Amino acid sequence: MSGDSKSGEWEGNDALKTWVSDRLLALQGFSTPEFVEYAIGLAKQATSAADVVGKLEEYGLAFSDDLHLFAEEIFSNVPWKVSPRKQKAYDNEDGIGTGLGKAVFEDQIEFIKESMLKVDDEMSIESPEISKAKSELETLHEDRRTLPIYAHRDSLLKAIEEHQVLVIVGETGSGKTTQIPQYLHEAGYTKRGKVACTQPRRVAAISVAARVSQEMDVKLGHEVGYSIRFEDCTSEKTVLKYMTDGKLLRELLGEPDLASYSVIMVDEAHERTVSTDVLFGLLKDIARFRKDIKILISSATPYASKFSDFFDCAPIYRIPGRRYPVEIQYTKAPVADYLDAAIVTVLQIHVTQSPGDILVFLTGQEEIESAEEILKHKITGFGSEIPELVISKIFSNLPTELQAKIFQPIPIGSRKVVLATNIAEASSTVDGINYVIDPGFCKMESYNPRTGMESLQVTSISKASADQRAGRSGRTGPGKCFRLYTADSYKTKLDDNTPPEIQRTNLTSVVLSLKSLGIQNLLNFDFMDPPSNEALLKALELLFALGALNKLGEVTKVGRQMAEFPLDPMLSKMIVASDKYKCSDEVISIAAMLSVGNSIFYRPKDEQVRADHARMSFHTGNVGDHIALMNVYNSWRETNYSTQWCYENYVQAIKKAIISGFFSHSARLQNYGSYRTVKHPRIVHIHPRSGLADNFPRWVVYHEVVLTTKEYMRNVTELKPEWLVEIAPHYYQMKDVEDA
């Protein structure tokens, strides 16, 4: 087979492996499956036949004409390989080339390499190491020994033994999450109590626990388990427990000193969730009176010093990770439309860059579906001029089975592009990503305690997020990151870090938890980054109005009942009140539906009319959004009592239970279809996807107000104004609810 052969001649991967094995036998007299895989992987990453020769010589093969011929053949024939002739035409020293790209489409984005800018704060990047292919028969224990953390096992355990609190900086791929709890178990820490490892996300807690149970060869839920909201996969045997940070916070309500634990490891602490920040203050206090407990804070590099300072100058232990070089490229000039620029850059990469998948960060579902539609249209227009481009997407409202498609293999010779929100910054690694496109924006939630309104607005990302995004291209091999903003914008316009969640969220649930733990003076609580006094006072006011606190700020009997539920206190009060109205089963169903956010209904761009029709079918009789959610749940359960709720008194009971939790969220119809909130008056509107959007009831209660293009009320139900005085006489007077 000559060097001019095309990869299309291979009927399959097995044929390629057979050919490589035969050539290696002829070259060196032996061949192994591992070396065959290594040679093929090497050819995929190489930039020339000479590069293949050099790597094979490093491996131990002697240079010869036959070796050079083999290198040329395998370089030319490995699938996914862009020919050297085309590659030379595509590439130029300033970034993305202009060869075939101009022939396929006219609009292009000009990039410049970071290395050419001589930026003072240039990231230091280690040289890549091409790992040898592993046999499928290699054991999990051998995998553990290949992790970077393995070489530091003994020194890490010694540091943990010598210090009560340790900040651990574990680079991506170091193995800290799966290995440190196992090392602690092997060192005997679990003889004194359980080892807890917290995660910011439920999916991470489950997947990591499953992996560790495999490595320890035990059944998940026995020695290794996980605990998340509404699901506890542990037993009396459990010694290594993975859980969300919120779950550990709730365990503190029943066990304030965490006496059953010997080690608490807060993993991914740099994400700074509300629960993580509250845990910091509580763990710091526990460590002062429980000298036998060990606290490990796992952090990304930018936050290590901050965590160390907070925990009384705790030592920092650094673990190197697998790091491949990532080439950063910036636009030469600002782009006018980042969505259009992202689409153009995808196509530039597809026709000018060597094989590898693309990850594009966008701000939300609407942008992702627009980009998908435009890309499909453009690719169809190019026809057979360019290889196949497989489009995948991931965002929070996307059904789980569709999210899983980003991990599915694609046909040989094609390329995958993943369109994602910022949840892809720290989620599971998608193998094969070599290129990242970063427009520099995300949607961020914020909370205004003065108005009680939450907003979700597009804003610039931080430098920390930009670096995290770039790193996604270097997880499994060398990568490139194309930033759709200038180097000057990165240096001067992006904040160093994203503001911690505790400074931009509703604190009602946090305050109730802390009060339930006996912490009375919240203004003096040891927050790493304290929230505003206004936000704390707003939370106290609402808890008092809900009956969770008395006039002295102490937790009431109702408040303790509310604290038992892992929900927003307004939802908790709704459930507690449902017992009075004899509709607990129905209200619990509604609360469960509300607690999962805005993801009950999936509304794909190409089927919006059908999706809206299906959603409105649950609104028959203008029952309101809350009752509609119950109808959805009842339909899902396929029960036979779905007509019972239609009786007026039955619906009223459910509505009164809802108002018991959300009486402060009431609004009255104004002229021209807008509404005015009763307390703290401001103009709001019913969300266009509400079942009551076209009905304009005179009085409504709503679940939340969000700021998008307007201030919209979401999940709205009609009410009778006299119910407000009946249910919350301490909050409303008749003059508040009398119609003008």
pLDDT in tens, 70-87: 887 887 777 544 434 334
Taking the domains of the chain in order of start, what are their residue ranges?
1-81, 140-319, 342-499, 500-564, 567-737
Q: Looking at the predicted structure, is the pLDDT value of residue 646 above 70?
A: no
| Cβ neighbours of residue 295 closer than 8 Å, sequence gap 6 or more | 164, 165, 166, 263, 264, 266, 283, 287, 311
Report which of 109, 52, 104 is spatially closest to residue 76, judged by C-alpha positions: 52
Say if residue 213 is exposed, middle or buried (CB neighbours under 10 Å; 0-12, 13-18, 19+). buried
Q: Which residue has the tokens 């991967």?
A: 13
What is the enclosing helix (H) or strand (E) of 610? helix 608-616
* Band of residue 8 on the pLDDT scale cut at 50, 70, 90: very low
What letter does residue 404 receive in the DSSP assignment?
G
User: What HEC string does 617-657 produce?
Assistant: HHHCCCCCHHHHHHHHHHHHHCCCCCCHHHCHHHHHHHHHH
Q: Looking at the predicted structure, is the pLDDT value of residue 418 above 50?
A: yes
* Band of residue 61 on the pLDDT scale cut at 50, 70, 90: low
What is the rounded CA–CA span in Å between residue 301 and residue 298? 10
Say if residue 561 is exposed, middle or buried (CB neighbours under 10 Å; 0-12, 13-18, 19+). middle
How many whole angstroms from its chain centre is CA 163? 32
Q: Looking at the predicted structure, is the pLDDT value of residue 123 above 50?
A: no
Q: What are phi and psi of 86, to 5 degrees?
A: -65, -40
Strands 433-438 and 479-483: parallel
| b (16+ CB within 10 A) / e for 462-497 | bbbbbbbbbbbbbbbbbbbbbbbbbbebbeeebeee
| b (16+ CB within 10 A) / e for 366-386 | ebbbebbeebeebbeeeeeeb
Q: Which residue has the higher pLDDT, 481 or 11?
A: 481
| Cβ neighbours of residue 298 closer than 8 Å, sequence gap 6 or more | 168, 170, 176, 177, 180, 265, 266, 267, 268, 269
Question: pLDDT digits over 127-169, tens only?
Answer: 344 343 344 335 677 778 888 899 999 999 999 999 999 999 9
Amino acid letter, residue 265 = M
Virtual torsion, Cα 490, 493, 497, 499, nearest 10 deg: -150
Q: What are phi and psi of 256, to 5 degrees?
A: -60, -25
Q: What are phi and psi of 112, to 5 degrees?
A: -135, 135
Q: Which residue has the higher pLDDT, 17 or 61?
A: 17
The pLDDT of residue 606 is 65
Q: Looking at the predicted structure, is the pLDDT value of residue 640 above 80?
A: no
The pLDDT of residue 9 is 39
356: region left, alpha or beta (phi > 0 left; psi from -120 to 50 alpha): left
CATH code for the part of the protein at 140-319: 3.40.50.300
Q: Looking at the predicted structure, is the pLDDT value of residue 507 above 50?
A: yes
Mean pLDDT in residue range 438-449: 90
Question: pLDDT digits over 515-527, tens only?
Answer: 999 898 898 899 9
Does domain 342-499 fall into CATH 3.40.50.300? yes
Q: Which residue has the tokens 């190491």?
A: 129
3 state SS of 298: strand
What is the rounded CA–CA span in Å between residue 601 and residue 612? 9
Q: Looking at the predicted structure, is the pLDDT value of residue 97 above 50?
A: no
* Band of residue 105 on the pLDDT scale cut at 50, 70, 90: low
Whether the Cβ atoms of residue 357 and residue 433 lie closer than 8 Å to each other: yes
Mean pLDDT in residue range 481-505: 93
Q: What are phi and psi of 233, to 5 degrees?
A: -105, 65
| Cβ neighbours of residue 683 closer than 8 Å, sequence gap 6 or more | 670, 674, 675, 676, 711
Q: Looking at the predicted structure, is the pLDDT value of residue 121 above 50?
A: no
Q: Which residue has the higher pLDDT, 342 or 5?
A: 342
The answer to which of 99-103, 223-227, 533-537, 656-660 has the lowest mean pLDDT is 99-103
| Cβ neighbours of residue 141 closer than 8 Å, sequence gap 6 or more | 215
C-alpha to C-alpha distances, 171 to 148, 200, 268, 299, nearest whole angstrom = 9, 17, 11, 9
Q: CA angle, 431 as apex, 110 and 355 as ends, to 5°? A: 45
**Same fold for the pair 140-319 and 342-499:** yes
* Band of residue 549 on the pLDDT scale cut at 50, 70, 90: very high
Whether the Cβ atoms of residue 621 and residue 646 lie closer than 8 Å to each other: yes
What is the rounded CA–CA span in Å between residue 664 and residue 678? 8
Say if residue 538 is exposed, middle or buried (CB neighbours under 10 Å; 0-12, 13-18, 19+). buried
Cβ neighbours, 10 Å, residue 293? 20
CA dihedral (70, 74, 75, 77) positive or negative: positive
Q: Looking at the predicted structure, is the pLDDT value of residue 125 above 80?
A: no
DSSP-assigned beta bridge partners for residue 686: 713
What is the rounded CA–CA span in Å between residue 136 and residue 138? 6
What is the rounded CA–CA span in Å between residue 711 and residue 638? 36
The pLDDT of residue 289 is 92
* Band of residue 493 on the pLDDT scale cut at 50, 70, 90: very high
Q: What are phi and psi of 154, to 5 degrees?
A: -65, -45
Tokens standing for 406? 């980003």
* Distance between start and end Cα atoms, the chain: 90
CA dihedral (90, 95, 98, 100) positive or negative: positive
Mean pLDDT in residue range 686-701: 91
CA dihedral (623, 626, 629, 630) positive or negative: negative
* Band of residue 366 on the pLDDT scale cut at 50, 70, 90: confident
CATH class of 500-564: mainly alpha
